Amino acid sequence: MLVVFGALALVLSGVVFVGILACLEIGRRLGLRYWERNPDTEHSGMGTVEGSVFGLLGLLIAFTFSSALGRWDETRGRVVTETNAIGTAWLRIDLLPAEAQPALRELFRRYLDARIAGYAAMPDMAAADRELARANAMQGDIWSAGVAACRGDDPSRTRVLFLPALNDMFDITTTRAVGLHAHPPFVVYALLLAVLFAASLIAGFATAESRMRSWVHTLCFAAAMSVCVYVILDLEYPRAGLFRVTRTDQIMVDLRASMH
């Protein structure tokens, strides 16, 4: 899914660029024909319609961009949350009996290796799913080893401090998994494209008042709108496109390097 989308976002932005140019041209030709037939028609009311459509377009772009950027930031925040949870649980292994610590620490290292490998494999979801499934399977082993280690001479302290840390470490994995598929409904993007093409048609119609065609304005408008669409879609999928959260993933790699 993510592999396909990484290329699809670029293709879609190209289609949007061509579609805007086509709508501008269609609108201009309609406008030329209209003004030829109605040279004395007043422009009253047209500005209101144009302002309404372009205002709606600006609102939709602002909403989808802000929403995509917010989810992009949330993705980075979840990486930090999981790293902190694993780091806290790792430190609290010191509370367990000495004989139980080596095996549990080795499980933690293997678990973190699988988590890092899973997200590093994206956008190849088949490889990512294999690594993440391996990590999820190890959660049961870590929990069993942790519970067994808490049955020592003073189990109350370790249970209160260590087991909740394990819960936090496991719970964030569900949050991250759900976050991979948390996106606006398709109808939001369909509406954005519909309004964008409608605005392009109106803009083309308005340019017909001038007999001189301005390719600079036409190309700049089409390029700006298509780039906006691409950036919005790219931010929605921070594991597949140009803007990725790989730098944030580095903190998990650094944590793994510290697990001596």
- The per-residue pLDDT for range 146-193, each reduced to its tens digit, is 988 887 656 566 677 888 999 999 999 999 999 888 888 889 999 999
pTM, 2 dp: 0.81
Q: What is the pLDDT of residue 215?
A: 85
- Residue segments in the chain with a per-residue pLDDT below the cut of 70: 1-7, 39-45, 152-158
Q: In the prediction, which pLDDT does 137 show?
A: 93
Cα dist from 111 to 39, 144, 145, 198, whole Å:
75, 14, 13, 51
Confidence (pLDDT) at 155: 59
pLDDT of residue 43: 59
Long-range contacts of 97-104 (CB under 8 A, 24+ apart): 97/149, 97/152, 97/153, 100/145, 100/148, 100/149, 100/152, 101/149, 103/145, 104/142, 104/145, 104/146, 104/149
pLDDT value at position 4?
47
User: What does the pLDDT read at residue 180?
Assistant: 83
Task: Give, in order, the Cα–Cα distances in Å from 32 to each of 24, 36, 51, 164, 208.
Answer: 12, 6, 21, 71, 5
Taking only the tens place, the pLDDT of each residue in 42-54 is 655 577 788 889 9
